[in-house]
């Protein structure tokens, strides 16, 4: 029910996305980064946090980016793993600055949401509506469940982070891939015009935004998205700590306590699991072909108990965006996969082999890399472990029920429209850089769907803070001597990071505060409706119900959600030059008068 209720938000944000892209029609190229990121951030804000993030959050995005850069710089410098040493370095100071920005964002989100929680108990009694993530945590705290303000902030940070940039990356790479795979989009051989034809057939010829059912019915589009995620996983690497001695198939023993890096990017391109792995082939994901593969040969959303909690949400959001863009534009490439270079960052930005796939709780402890994002995300889902992780995961899982995802389709559609409009402005130009519009698209979508906040305008400061944080994180990750927190905190990097984190936390706290303000007669509303709650509402409700999550915990999850849907820490290990492509209006046979469901 919750996912279904997000569809209107997705549609609204898709419209904004298409409008943003449309402005580039006729230009030499389009940079889709900003509009797509805005789309995802706005969607997560409205859906999970109940906050509109459509304006003024570029500073948050920059702080995320800066944190990612600093994180990577530390990760590649083992001598900086020691917190004491790291805190003495400029990287640590820059990171603290970014974290301050990020925490400012999440705290503002939470505070604003809390303000809407007037007559909280009465609203809960009067509605059966399921709560968004932030509201769920706020309710849990209110109800005495084990989550405090810091815990809420941690989860807000986690969800905002994970909820917008990884999705934006997926959309960017899908657009780039489709632009380079002309037969998928237009030709009537092999895959033919199946993608565009599928949209046309499902939406018929009437003017209509897609519904949840429409989007779920787009099976070929889903296979195309999955194949793009195979080739360009938003998170190319994940890390764990061995919970016990592990005997590999080759006879090697991985000792207990050892850091293990799982190279998803290489697994997805391994000839051991994939025939002709460099070829784009959506039919790999036909049911009969999936049954032939190892279940863990495909890990775009991780696997096991710590798999991505929002993967269904992300798939709906991506479908909504692609539906709007492909109905409006043709895509032509400027950059090709062969010319792409990947650089390290928190998500796969652009140009391994491990045989053991983790599948149980004994190996769920994240390695040292994840420690570097705690200043921003705190102990949200991405960085926490043990009982806290299990409790938070249990609390937030209902926010991604398929009924909630259905409700996001309208938001995805709206943001797709905005994305298409942004891309349309480059029609006629020599090429289009999709980085900015795609990033705006994902950020706007995550804002509206998960946070209930519009981020399409006025939130450049937030986006800038995310970006800044990612840069600082990368700088730290590649400087092992900054792994020590003490050394790092003495550096200019740490000061810059703190500033970024303050901005990001301000954003999330504002989102939460604004969302809380809407929770009038909370108990009564819960009793009168069976609607499932989005992420932010879910946390607010949990806090209200006394569950162990406070305002800070809600902020952590808001930050984490946005972070993981847009950046996804490890994915910053490969940074891609901005995807560019030429965009033209789609063929006239594709009607634009109906949105997908």
- Per the annotation, where are the binding residues for heme? 308
Strand partners of residue 581: 30, 333
Pairwise CA distance, residues 214 & 384, whole Å: 36
Angle of CA points 72, 78, 79, to nearest 5°: 115
Q: Is residue 582 classed as helix, strand or coil in its secondary structure?
A: strand
Task: Please enumerate, by residue number, every residue annotated as part of a binding site.
Answer: 308
Residue 421 is inside which H or E element, if any?
Answer: helix 409-423
Sort residue 348 into left (φ over 0), alpha (ψ -120 to 50) or beta: beta
Q: Looking only at Cα atoms, what is the longest distance across the chain?
A: 64
Helix, strand, coil percent content, the chain, rounded in steps of 5: 60, 10, 35
> Any residues with CB less than 8 A from the CB of 551 and at least 6 apart, and which?
107, 110, 111, 114, 138, 141, 148, 149, 150, 152, 153, 509, 512, 543
302, two tokens: 């991780």
511, two tokens: 């989102």
The 10 Å Cβ neighbour count of residue 244 is 10
> Any residues with CB less than 8 A from the CB of 582 and at least 6 apart, and which?
29, 179, 331, 332, 333, 334, 426, 429, 430, 431, 432
**Phi/psi at 257 (5° precision):** 90, -5
Pairwise CA distance, residues 372 & 84, whole Å: 13
Residue pair 58/457 in contact (Cβ under 8 Å)? The answer is no
Pairwise CA distance, residues 82 & 569, whole Å: 20
> Any residues with CB less than 8 A from the CB of 545 and at least 6 apart, and which?
124, 139, 140, 142, 143, 144, 145
Which residue is it, tokens 């990356």?
Answer: 169
Task: Single out the residue of 5, 4, 11 nearest to residue 445, CA to CA.
Answer: 11
Pairwise CA distance, residues 565 & 88, whole Å: 31
Task: Single out the residue of 45, 23, 25 nearest to residue 35, CA to CA.
Answer: 23
Pairwise CA distance, residues 497 & 32, whole Å: 26
Pairwise CA distance, residues 563 & 310, whole Å: 12
Strand partners of residue 529: none
Task: Single out the residue of 394, 400, 393, 380 nearest to residue 550, CA to CA.
Answer: 380
Residue pair 439/32 in contact (Cβ under 8 Å)? The answer is yes
From the number of C-beta atoms within 10 Å of its C-beta (0-12, 13-18, 19+), residue 278 rates as exposed
Quick one: how far is CA 399 from the chain centroid? 15
């Amino acid at each position: 029910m919750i996912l279904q209720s997000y569809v209107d938000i997705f549609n609204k944000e898709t419209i904004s996305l298409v409008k943003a892209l449309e402005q580039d029609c006729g230009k030499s190229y389009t940079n889709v980064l900003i509009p797509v990121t805005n789309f995802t951030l706005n969607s997560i804000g409205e859906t999970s946090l109940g906050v509109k993030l459509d304006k003024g959050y570029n500073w948050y995005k920059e702080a995320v980016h800066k944190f990612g850069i600093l994180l990577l710089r530390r990760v590649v410098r083992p001598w900086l793993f020691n917190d004491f040493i790291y805190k003495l370095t400029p990287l640590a100071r820059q990171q603290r600055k970014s974290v301050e920005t990020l925490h400012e964002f999440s705290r503002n989100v939470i505070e604003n949401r809390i303000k809407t929680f007037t007559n909280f108990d009465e609203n809960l009694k009067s509605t059966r509506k399921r709560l968004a993530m932030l509201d769920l945590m706020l309710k849990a705290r209110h109800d005495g469940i084990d989550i405090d303000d810091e815990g809420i902030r941690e989860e807000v940070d986690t969800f905002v982070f994970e909820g917008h940039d990884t999705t934006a990356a997926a959309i960017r790479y899908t657009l780039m891939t489709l632009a380079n795979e002309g037969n998928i989009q237009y030709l009537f051989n092999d895959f033919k015009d199946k993608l565009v034809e599928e949209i046309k057939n499902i939406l018929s010829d009437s003017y209509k935004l897609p519904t949840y059912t429409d989007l779920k019915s787009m099976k070929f589009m889903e296979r195309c998205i999955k194949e793009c995620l195979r080739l360009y996983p938003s998170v190319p690497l994940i890390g764990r700590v061995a919970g016990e001695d592990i005997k590999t198939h080759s006879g090697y023993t991985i000792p207990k306590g050892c850091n293990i890096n799982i190279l998803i990017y290489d697994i997805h391109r391994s000839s051991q699991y994939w025939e002709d792995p460099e070829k784009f082939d959506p039919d790999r994901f036909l049911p009969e072909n999936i049954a032939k593969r190892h279940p863990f040969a495909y890990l775009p959303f991780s696997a096991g108990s710590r798999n991505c909690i929002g993967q269904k949400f992300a798939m709906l959001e991506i479908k909504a965006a692609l539906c709007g863009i492909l109905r409006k534009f043709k895509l032509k490439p400027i950059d090709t996969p062969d010319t792409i270079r990947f650089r390290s960052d928190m998500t796969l930005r652009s140009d391994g082999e491990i045989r053991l796939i983790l599948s149980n709780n004994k190996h769920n402890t994240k390695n040292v890399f994840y420690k570097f994002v705690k200043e921003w995300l705190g102990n949200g889902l991405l960085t926490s472990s043990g009982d806290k992780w299990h409790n938070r995961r249990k609390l937030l899982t209902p926010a991604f029920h398929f009924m909630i995802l259905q409700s996001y389709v309208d938001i995805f559609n709206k943001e797709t429209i905005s994305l298409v409009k942004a891309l349309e402005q480059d029609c006629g130009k020599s090429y289009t850089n999709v980085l900015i519009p795609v990033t705006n698209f994902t950020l706007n979508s995550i804002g509206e769907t998960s946070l209930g906040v519009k981020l399409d305008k006025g939130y450049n400061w937030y986006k800038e803070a995310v970006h800044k944080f990612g840069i600082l994180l990368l700088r730290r990750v590649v400087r092992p001597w900054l792994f020590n927190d003490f050394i790092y905190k003495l550096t200019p990097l740490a000061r810059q990071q703190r500033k970024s984190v303050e901005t990001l936390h301000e954003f999330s706290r504002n989102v939460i505060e604004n969302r809380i303000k809407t929770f009038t007669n909370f108990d009564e509303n819960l009793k009168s409706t069976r609607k499932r709650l989005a992420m932010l509402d879910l946390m607010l409700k949990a806090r209200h119900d006394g569950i162990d999550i406070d305002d800070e915990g809600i902020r952590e999850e808001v930050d984490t959600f946005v972070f993981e849907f847009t950046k996804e820490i490890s994915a910053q290990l490969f940074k891609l030059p901005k995807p560019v492509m030429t965009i033209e209006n789609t063929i006239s046979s594709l009607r634009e008068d109906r949105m997908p469901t």
